[in-house]
Structure 1
């Protein structure tokens, strides 16, 4: 390929020299750019190239660094750290919604002083400066200071005009017109687009649509953080038309209304592809649809997802890039919507996806990760978890991913993947990083349980329990009593946070890391099986960080308030209590299971005076009551 084809060849080469971009990734990007350039110039009408035509025909030239971001080989933060203000286009795409809203343009940033240079159409208020800093930091930066730089206001307006945003008034008017006339195809198309855009602007994780025969139930709701709130009310006919249109886009059968369906919708938002995982279900009064938002361009970096804990992100990146780490396991647990899928995708991104083969198995595939071979479970055609696992083994993978453990088949498959000598990972619903091991063992068939524990003891390296907690809005107030950077919630809030004082969520994990030594692994396995949390965390070679550890750091940095911090501490205490109860219950069950009933009956029959047989309830009370006068011999 001619070097002149790529306008930023020298800049990309500089990232290679700085070891930010891998050499094999760079050479592949050159070939990709050459192919795209030749196909588009030849006038191809294949629909697969429509997205790339728009990229190449944009006012700003599309280059190799853009391809690096599309492939997931680079982040904008990587580029800015190396090139500084020599790559102006990158700054124009950082926090574009906030920049357009405030009518500002990011010019450059000084990494050493944590200072961001910006231009603005009009001077920013203090609250607007805080909002800008918050938006930039959410993309992986650590901005502490802003510095104004005079630039042409026409240029700012020109740059920001390329980003499509939707105001609340615009969409409210459109929805009102749509309710009045739901048959207009052009208006229907615009309503679909505006609803998705509004959800992305609000950083919603889920869009929920209810189509019901009851006019009071036809509602569109957004889930933002851990709160679901109604956004728009629809007429019965309008809800039906919109439901049908979303089904068509997701490649579902619009006629089927009495059973669940799954599908995907893709759109381009702020120069990147966004995926919505669609799912429908029948209700007694109509249908329900959920559109799960997966923003492929904004969540693919560990240092964005874990930007408050860079050392954790560095450790996970190092783990994924180790090529000799065969036969190892990483477990991600948490509740629905806690960020498991996003973090699993980020981990795959950190591996050298061109230097190794990554195969993932999911039901369904929630998020597309380029250069990962993703296989989807479909039991209707015999594509079960076991069948796909066997097929994956024949494809010589280096890393095997079970995207979600939800039944005995996927649980057994996830553990057997690691037992084959591969680096593997999975996600599971569990209440803590410690209990995740017991949870997956409880799901496997009885005859496999002992082997399952042995596999975990041999290969478990990381167990992370994820939880998203409320983050303070930029309108937060300084807590004079606490001092330092400590902030407290503004009880009056602001329009940005809908007057709640909280804006968005931040990851607050619980982490467990087990070293490679045989002795520590043996002792860790015993502690995990016996639910001995206190003994486990004391072992040399085991690193455990409770949620309270990470919550304290967030509180000290002014990210969360005292109330949120105290709530995490309470949850930690409750989890420890529950783990101790589980441990004692397990001890009771082990004792009961070891009782030989026939031998007891023989002993009682041989006695002249039969003593009353103790009941199961009395046994449990004897073990659980630590304050009674029973001796160890009695127990």
Structure 2
């Protein structure tokens, strides 16, 4: 069945009709050439009064999913306003035009309203697509003419203090915007492609940094393991998982618990996205020689109590993390691994001394993010969840506490099969086990769980 999400929608045409009727009967006017009115309909569309409603015009029906039609008819006043402002911006074709500023303000406000983490602006099939990443997934929210991407690119570069004539090299910067009298920060990245630039705007939402670890979605037994580990004065705590699994949010929530005037906390990040009060944050800057290695080699001279390493990426970063853990520091870090037991073999791969690992490693927290059922419609599909049946995400996780037996196995560098056999023996609860608990509690679906953990 054809998708209409990546096609240009004429909102003037849609709003020339009674939108409440279109929603009720699941009908989307798409194109009128003067002779024929083209309508998108679904298997559930009610066409009984269609001919009369559209003034007995010659009608042609095209098929698509019901959810797509309802999604396209949602937030119609916002989409119409963006459509209108884009047209006026293109008409005046000036970076000083207030229409372009108003368009961007409306776009950013809309993305924040939808809890979007990123806005993707890209060229596709002679069109400019505006896609929002919400709960980890991309969805097209607006489609405009192809040439509009050049205008929006130039304006974004202008307000980000970038060279507006440079479109052959990747660029990145930041900008701020007042939205409803509140200042928001955004990170801009542009990348040259075959057709046009690809533009990504990251929404830097400062309220995310104060997330309470009790409200992220951890199961009670996982929370207890985390809280006990954070009472330690030295050792290594690792949070593992693929990109986009919420590792940074979890680590920031741990830092919020540890943060106090009695302790010095230093972070090494690339980049720093959020400023944490009372914490010394160091941002890597390779352009001036302030690289990861240099910061790590000098960090202990700052007399820290707690060290946060954004990502253990090589032998050196792991070596310093282990040494710091051994010499009276609590070290929190992220590392890429599929699960808790595979994290141990990942440490071996980075040539870590098995004795150091067995002595310093205290907790490995492996996690994923799964979509949660929409609480507004109970997973039926509504405007709040953009007719996806899901809204928001929760964590599924497993916590591997390094007890004496595991420490001995690590020191002896035993195989992952030996680790897994021991974990089965002690009835360790895996990612899948925690996910099944969330399915049983009707928080998410088995389909979503299997998709995320790759079974």
Report the TM-score, using the length of structure 1 for normalisation.
Answer: 0.54
RMSD: 3.1
Aligned to 1:227: 137
The answer (yes or no) to whether the contact 2:406–2:419 under 8 Å persists in 1 is no
The answer (yes or no) to whether the contact 1:273–1:296 under 8 Å persists in 2 is no
Unaligned runs of 5+ in 2: 1-76
Pick aligned residue for 1:512 from 382, 400, 405: 400
For residues 465-504 of structure 1, give each alpha carbon's deviation from its aligned partner in whole angstroms, at most 9, with x where no partner exists. 2211121123555xxxxxxxxxxx43xx222222222223
Per-residue deviation, 1:356: 0.9
The answer (yes or no) to whether the contact 2:240–2:340 under 8 Å persists in 1 is yes
Aligned to 1:312: 222
Pick aligned residue for 1:552 from 412, 436, 440: 436
Pick aligned residue for 1:197 from 95, 109, 125: 109
- Name the CA distance, whole Å, in 1 between partners of 2:201 and 2:412: 43
- Name the CA distance, whole Å, in 2 between partners of 1:557 and 1:341: 26
1:406–1:241 distance in 2 versus 1, CA, 3 Å:
farther
Aligned to 1:170: 81
- Name the CA distance, whole Å, in 1 between partners of 2:93 and 2:260: 46
Pick aligned residue for 1:468 from 358, 365, 369: 369
Show the 5 A alignment for 1:561-576.
561-565=445-449, 571=454, 574=455
The answer (yes or no) to whether the contact 1:341–1:367 under 8 Å persists in 2 is no
Aligned to 1:423: 330
SS in structure 2 of the partner of residue 511 of structure 1:
strand
Report the TM-score, using the length of structure 2 for normalisation.
Answer: 0.73
1:504–1:357 distance in 2 versus 1, CA, 3 Å:
same
The answer (yes or no) to whether the contact 2:374–2:385 under 8 Å persists in 1 is yes
Aligned to 1:532: 418
The answer (yes or no) to whether the contact 1:306–1:313 under 8 Å persists in 2 is no
Show the 5 A alignment for 1:66-85.
none
Per-residue deviation, 1:239: 1.8
Per-residue deviation, 1:424: 0.9
- Name the CA distance, whole Å, in 1 between partners of 2:114 and 2:417: 42
Q: Which has the higher contact order (CA 8 A, sep 6+)?
A: 2
Per-residue deviation, 1:325: 1.8
Per-residue deviation, 1:510: 2.7
Aligned pair count? 378
The answer (yes or no) to whether the contact 2:373–2:391 under 8 Å persists in 1 is yes
The answer (yes or no) to whether the contact 2:174–2:188 under 8 Å persists in 1 is yes
Pick aligned residue for 2:154 from 244, 252, 258: 244
SS in structure 2 of the partner of residue 436 of structure 1:
helix
Aligned to 2:241: 334
1:278–1:433 distance in 2 versus 1, CA, 3 Å:
farther
- Name the CA distance, whole Å, in 2 between partners of 1:329 and 1:435: 16
* Larger of the two Rg values belongs to structure: 1
Aligned to 1:359: 266
Per-residue deviation, 1:266: 4.2
Aligned to 1:432: 339
1:402–1:280 distance in 2 versus 1, CA, 3 Å:
farther
Unaligned runs of 5+ in 1: 1-165, 478-488, 575-635
- Name the CA distance, whole Å, in 1 between partners of 2:268 and 2:281: 6
The structure with more helix, counted as a fraction of residues: 1
- Name the CA distance, whole Å, in 2 between partners of 1:431 and 1:207: 28
